[in-house]
């Protein structure tokens, strides 16, 4: 075979390798490179270095590819001109364009897309050493390109956006690489910083709080009925939260008062007389991610959310933040508390915290109370005053009876369909 043709074929092979290298290295993600390095795969260390200097690596490959294509074109043109005269230029152009397009671009890039890891491992070593030998040339070209880009205000940006991460996770879920729960966790984590605390807080009207004049024995009874481990304590009204009563401190005070006859009894000690936790007060606009770090820094689990006037807008806990990430967290008390207990098809026992939407489904009714979320507020609104235990109202053919109250709080409701 003619030596010129052998050289052209060799240059075409180099062109194919260059094209495959370009596609394989671009297709390979940083996570895949890290996996190859951690598992000590052949060529992984070279591959990591090339990816670290991805811009210079791309220049190296493009320069090499263009060099071999130009050389192949020149040799083919000379060979065809010698064989066919002036017509050889056109023949050389047509033949080489076809060969480079099929064997130098489409086929190698298709293979590199299918086997990016394998091809990257094969070419990483040779590319690294070629880059070392041609460092001055690559450095000069990189300087020129960077200067031109700066003139036009273009900056290199390889940061992956939250939207791109969510899109990749969604694709992974579609392909079965990750399950739906993992996808939801990824989405929640990425959106964590965009949510203000007012979006997850317990609203002011649903806060269980105690006045600072409350006695310890009353506070203990309150805790028994509400199962909270931390309770805000206010002065005069809920806009002036002065402390947080912890269950630990409450038990400690009971222990001291019952241990010694010289100590005041629980019914004699007001909440303002004991050590309350200093309340953490935050603006409603604070992002939940920032609050999460603040909780960890101050080792606290509860914050009072303030409105623009400095009044109490709501309350947020560490559990609220974690539920925003992983979904509802059920503790022992959640499992024990059954909000809706079906006695028969026409009779139910409900918690006072049952939401109106749930009540509407049971009663097959539509309520006109968009501002109220729970059945307790519905009852109070219908009566126009705070009800007493045993009192009933009739709505949509159902009798709603206050089955249990504690002070001003409706704890249980009995619901019965009237004949």
Average pLDDT of 214-241?
86
What percent of the chain clears pLDDT 70, i.e. is strictly above it?
A: 83
Say whether pLDDT at 148 is over 60: yes
Say whether pLDDT at 407 is over 80: no
pLDDT at 335: 40
Q: Tell me: the pLDDT tens digits for 105-129?
A: 899 889 888 888 888 888 888 888 8
Lowest average pLDDT, out of 67-81, 196-210, 366-380, goes to 366-380
Q: How many CA atoms lie less than 13 Å away from 11 in the CB half-sphere?
A: 22
- pLDDT band at 359; cut points 50, 70, 90: confident
Q: Please give the residue that has the higher pLDDT: either 288 or 167.
A: 288
**CA neighbor of 274 nearest in space, from 204, 210, 225:** 210
- pLDDT band at 336; cut points 50, 70, 90: very low
Q: Tell me: the pLDDT tens digits for 299-333?
A: 888 999 998 888 999 999 888 877 776 655 455 44
pLDDT at 332: 47
Say whether pLDDT at 180 is over 90: no
Domain 338-417 part of CATH 3.30.465.10: yes
Q: Tell me: the pLDDT tens digits for 248-285?
A: 888 888 777 666 554 667 677 888 888 899 999 999 88
- pLDDT band at 179; cut points 50, 70, 90: low
Average pLDDT of 287-296?
86
pLDDT at 337: 47
pLDDT at 31: 74
Average pLDDT of 201-209?
84
What is 384-396 written as a DSSP string? SS---TT-EEEET
pLDDT at 32: 81
Q: How many CA atoms lie less than 13 Å away from 110 in the CB half-sphere?
A: 7
Say whether pLDDT at 233 is over 90: yes
> Which residues partner with 302 through β-bridges?
317
- CA-based Rg of the chain, rounded to a whole angstrom? 36
Say whether pLDDT at 240 is over 90: yes
Say whether pLDDT at 182 is over 70: no
Q: Please give the residue that has the higher pLDDT: either 409 or 341.
A: 341
**Average model confidence (pLDDT) for the chain?**
81
- Write out the E strands in 23-136: none
pLDDT at 61: 86
Q: Please give the residue that has the higher pLDDT: either 383 or 178.
A: 383
- CA–CA distance from 254 to each of 221, 244, 271 (Å)? 13, 17, 12
**pTM for the predicted model, two decimal places:** 0.47
- pLDDT band at 172; cut points 50, 70, 90: low
Q: Which residues contact 185 (CB under 8 A, 6 or more apart)?
A: 325, 326
pLDDT at 3: 80
pLDDT at 371: 53
Give the C-alpha separation, 116 to 314, whole Å.
Answer: 53
Q: Tell me: the pLDDT tens digits for 72-99?
A: 888 888 888 888 888 888 888 888 888 8
- Helix (H) or strand (E) holding 273, with range, is none
Read off the DSSP letter of residue 240.
S
Say whether pLDDT at 165 is over 70: no
Q: How many CA atoms lie less than 13 Å away from 360 in the CB half-sphere?
A: 13
pLDDT at 198: 84
Lowest average pLDDT, out of 102-111, 183-192, 325-334, 393-402, goes to 325-334
Give the C-alpha separation, 251 to 246, whole Å.
Answer: 9
Angle at 176 between CA 172 and CA 177, to 5 degrees: 55
pLDDT at 279: 92
Give the C-alpha separation, 411 to 408, whole Å.
Answer: 9
Give the C-alpha separation, 214 to 386, whole Å.
Answer: 21
Torsion angle of the four alpha carbons 258, 260, 265, 268, in this order, in degrees rounded to the nearest 10: -150
Give the C-alpha separation, 68 to 103, whole Å.
Answer: 13
Class of domain 197-326: alpha beta
Burial group, residue 85, by CB count within 10 angstroms (0-12, 13-18, 19+): exposed
Angle at 59 between CA 53 and CA 60, to 5 degrees: 85
pLDDT at 408: 67
pLDDT at 178: 65
Give the C-alpha separation, 337 to 334, whole Å.
Answer: 5
- CA–CA distance from 36 to each of 127, 131, 354 (Å)? 17, 21, 53
Q: Which residues contact 97 (CB under 8 A, 6 or more apart)?
A: none
Domain residue spans of the chain:
3-151, 162-194, 197-326, 338-417
Give the full edge-to-edge strand order of the sheet including 230-234.
210-211, 230-234, 241-246
């Amino acid at each position: 075979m003619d030596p010129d043709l052998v050289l052209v074929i060799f240059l075409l092979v180099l062109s194919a390798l260059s094209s495959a290298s370009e596609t394989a290295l671009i297709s390979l993600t940083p996570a895949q490179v890290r996996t190859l390095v951690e598992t000590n795969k052949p060529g992984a260390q070279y591959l990591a270095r090339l990816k670290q200097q991805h811009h210079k690596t791309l220049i190296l490959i493009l320069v090499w590819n263009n060099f071999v294509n130009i050389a192949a074109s020149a040799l083919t043109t000379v060979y065809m001109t010698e064989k066919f005269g002036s017509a050889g230029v056109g023949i050389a152009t047509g033949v080489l364009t076809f060969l480079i397009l099929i064997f130098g671009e489409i086929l190698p890039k298709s293979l590199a897309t299918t086997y990016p890891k394998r091809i990257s491992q094969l070419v990483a070593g040779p590319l690294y050493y070629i880059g070392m030998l041609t460092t001055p040339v690559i450095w000069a070209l990189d300087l020129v390109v960077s200067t031109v880009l700066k003139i036009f205000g273009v900056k290199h940006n390889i940061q992956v956006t939250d939207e791109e991460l969510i899109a990749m996770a969604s694709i992974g879920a579609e392909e079965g690489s990750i399950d739906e729960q993992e996808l939801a966790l990824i989405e929640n984590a990425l959106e964590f910083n965009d949510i203000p605390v007012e979006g997850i807080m317990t609203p002011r009207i649903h806060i269980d709080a105690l006045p600072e004049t409350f006695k310890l024995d009353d506070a203990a009874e309150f805790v028994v009925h509400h199962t909270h481990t931390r309770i805000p304590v206010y002065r005069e009204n809920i806009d002036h939260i002065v402390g947080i009563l912890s269950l630990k401190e409450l038990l400690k005070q009971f222990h001291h008062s019952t241990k010694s006859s010289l100590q005041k009894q629980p019914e004699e000690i007001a909440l303002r007389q004991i050590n309350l936790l200093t309340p953490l007060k935050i603006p409603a606009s604070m992002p939940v991610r920032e609050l999460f770090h603040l909780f960890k820094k101050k080792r606290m689990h509860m914050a009072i959310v303030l409105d623009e006037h400095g009044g109490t807008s709501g309350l947020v806990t560490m559990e609220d933040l974690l539920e925003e990430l992983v979904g509802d967290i059920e503790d022992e008390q959640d499992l024990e508390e059954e909000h809706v207990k079906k006695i028969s098809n026409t009779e139910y026992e409900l918690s006072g915290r049952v939401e109106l939407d749930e009540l509407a489904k049971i009663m097959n009714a539509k309520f006109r109370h968009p501002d109220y979320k729970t059945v307790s507020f519905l009852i109070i609104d219908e009566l126009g005053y705070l009800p007493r235990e045993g009192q009933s109202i009739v709505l949509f053919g159902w009798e709603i009876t206050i089955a249990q109250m504690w002070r001003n709080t409706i704890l249980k409701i009995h619901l019965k369909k009237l004949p």
